Structure 1
Amino acid sequence: MKGFLYDLFVPHTHDSADSIDDAMEASTAGVRALKISLFVLLGTTILQAVLVGLTGSIALLADTIHNFADALTAVPLWVAFVLGRRVANRRYTYGYGRAEDLAGMFIVFVVALSAVVAGWQAIDRFINPRPIENPWLLVAAGLVGFAGNEIVAIYRIRVGQKIGSAALVADGVHARLDGFTSLSVVLGAVGVMLGFPLADPIIGLLISISIMLLLWGTVKSIGARLMDAIDPALLERAEHALEHTDGVHAVRDVRVRWVGHRLTGSATIVVEASDLHEAAHVAAHASEHVHEAIGNVDTFTVTPAPPSRR
């Protein structure tokens, strides 16, 4: 159960075997995912906002706030994807891909802020209770919210994994969290119908607390990207590709890092070559092998070195 929940709310940020090779195609796929999910979430939010007015539910209000926040987080991430297409220059020598990771941190901030606002609304409802009207509408609203968010979550996470975007995966996890808070709204409505009116603010408060706790996994994922952490499996794939290149006797100093949803790296290989031209040819061939093994690599520099003499 622990592993299931971890995979559900902290999914891997990439799938090397099914990655998109072309940088522009990957960026286009990310923007398309954000556009579609933005309109789906805005539609869900508008529908729930109407039902908040009809029911007066604080739990549904908390859910609606989260859905609206989730829709808004698509905007800076969209900007980051577009900005990441700009070519590197003398000031930003690695390009603008890091804007995507900064957008991921903004997503984390917005999720945390929305949880705090929803918690404050729940506490206020404890102090100033109000009756819940039309609880059956509340059940319908919760189910609609769950369906809309889960569709968006699946889509964002799959595209994020395919293009290697930690920020887009984080945004998908955010949508998934909102989907489960919508189910909690249903529980609050059932409690009200069973004669327990405080179930609504209690559920609203539990939603806020659970989101803050589950947010930690996303914080670690985005933070790891900012610290240039890499999946060891990716490093092993690069090393394997280099080691199995004709003319390579040893591999040293393999480094790989994420810049947004693209990879860049370098390595030193030991070659037994008769001249510099042959050594450069082996290095170029080794770099091609890395690109074949890891599809979303933009630049991988291979430096040839002679074997040490004793």
Structure 2
Amino acid sequence: MGVHHHKIGGGKLLIAIVLNLILTVVQIVGGIISGSLALLSDALHNFSDVSALTISHVAHTLSSKKATVKETFGYKRAEIIAALFNASVLIAIGIYLIYESFVRFYDPQPVVSVWVVGLGMLGVIVNGGSIWLLEAEAKGNMNIRAAYLHLLGDTLTSVAVVAGGAAMYFWHIYWIDPLISIAIALYLIYASLSLVKESTGVLMEFVPEDLDVEEIAEAVAREPDIKNIHHLHIWRINDREVFLQAHLDFEQNLSLQEVTRRIEKIEKMLKHRFGISHAVLQPEFMRDDEKDLIKGES
């Protein structure tokens, strides 16, 4: 089932890459002919989409590779790295577009608005179709969500380009062209910051935001014969798998068979209640070590 999901996502990414590559070339030519910064901005966004989707496609393929004795986790974090890179690129593009827009804002240039409206509509169709292709996968995959954000940003860009082109055609308001670019750039920066924060959190092995460490520790400590839980670590391998590692103090010197049974029960509780995919619990009895919940905390 998991392999099948990867194949579907990869195929859809490939289609989106081809569509956006064609659109990029067409809009670059149209932007040069029309003299529209907004249209060239849209083309630049689409070029970033091609790069982002290609990186996402490669990462998506790598993440499905099996673990080996050298790569014991496989390439599960390839998609997180791709998500961080793509979101960071979006922020950089947004900053660049703001700079270019301010330059053009103080020196508005005549624009052939018919080209702007026509190619803007083409952008809406292509990017809208790409969004439809990736919408389901974007909900459960940080890497696909980064590519999805690129496409969503471009769809909004294209809609704004069409509206701006219409305003230039009917009212000759050419300063609206860089104004649209600024609005689009600000949206891209805003939408990308949360993804940068989330992907960085995964790479830094922070506790997922939806989990409460103290609540988890209390739930484990309430299990029979558990005296203390300490040296607790919780982290994500990717946007689906959560790992937990901790030491457990037992109140009695139980048999190994009984300890194993208690730990299996705790593992099931952690999985069903908190979504912990994999737990490594080290049993201890009368061990003289630090008992801080988080090792090294003050």
Work out the CA distance in 1 between the residues paired with 2:224 and 2:133. Answer: 43
1:287 — aligned with what? Answer: 267
Structure 1 residue 137: deviation in Å?
4.5
Structure 1 residue 66: deviation in Å?
0.2
1:166 — aligned with what? Answer: 142
Q: How many residues are matched?
A: 284
How do residues 58-73 of structure 1 correspond to structure 2 at under 5 angstroms?
A: 58-73=37-52
Evaluate the alpha carbon distance shift between residue 301 and residue 149 of structure 1 in structure 2; reply closer, same or farther with a 3 A threshold. same
How do residues 136-151 of structure 1 correspond to structure 2 at under 5 angstroms?
A: 136-151=114-129
2:160 — aligned with what? Answer: 184
Structure 1 residue 228: deviation in Å?
1.8
AA of the residue aligned to 2:234: V
One of 137, 148, 173 as aligned partner of 1:196: 173
- For 1:147-198, what per-residue CA distance to the aligned partner results, in whole angstroms no more than 9, with x for missing partners? 4434544654541432xx3232222222222222222212321331212123
2:256 — aligned with what? Answer: 276
SS in 2 for 1:233: coil
How do residues 92-241 of structure 1 correspond to structure 2 at under 5 angstroms?
A: 92-116=71-95, 118-119=97-98, 122=101, 125=104, 130-133=109-112, 135-153=113-131, 156=134, 158-162=136-140, 165-193=141-169, 194-234=171-211, 239=216
Q: Which moved more, 1:88-97 or 1:243-252?
A: 243-252
Structure 2 gap segments, 5+ residues each: 288-298
AA of the residue aligned to 1:59: A
Work out the CA distance in 2 between the residues paired with 1:52 and 1:219. Answer: 31
Q: Which has the higher contact order (CA 8 A, sep 6+)?
A: 1
How do residues 251-262 of structure 1 correspond to structure 2 at under 5 angstroms?
A: 252-253=229-230, 254-261=232-239, 262=241
Work out the CA distance in 1 between the residues paired with 2:44 and 2:58. Answer: 22
- For 1:250-303, what per-residue CA distance to the aligned partner results, in whole angstroms no more than 9, with x for missing partners? 673453312234332224445567411111122134324444556682x32233
- Structure 2 length as normaliser, TM-score? 0.74
Structure 1 gap segments, 5+ residues each: 1-21
- Structure 1 length as normaliser, TM-score? 0.71
SS in 1 for 2:139: helix
Evaluate the alpha carbon distance shift between residue 288 and residue 75 of structure 1 in structure 2; reply closer, same or farther with a 3 A threshold. same
1:66–1:115 Cα contact (<8 Å) kept: no
Work out the CA distance in 2 between the residues paired with 1:43 and 1:224. Answer: 35
Bigger Rg, which one: 2
Q: Give the alignment's Cα RMSD to 1 decimal.
A: 3.9
How do residues 77-88 of structure 1 correspond to structure 2 at under 5 angstroms?
A: 77-88=56-67
Evaluate the alpha carbon distance shift between residue 277 and residue 98 of structure 1 in structure 2; reply closer, same or farther with a 3 A threshold. same
Evaluate the alpha carbon distance shift between residue 251 and residue 180 of structure 1 in structure 2; reply closer, same or farther with a 3 A threshold. farther
1:62–1:204 Cα contact (<8 Å) kept: yes
Evaluate the alpha carbon distance shift between residue 250 and residue 189 of structure 1 in structure 2; reply closer, same or farther with a 3 A threshold. farther
* 2:279 is the alignment partner of 1:300: yes
Work out the CA distance in 1 between the residues paired with 2:159 and 2:27. Answer: 13
1:241–1:286 Cα contact (<8 Å) kept: no
2:235–2:242 Cα contact (<8 Å) kept: yes
Identity %: 21
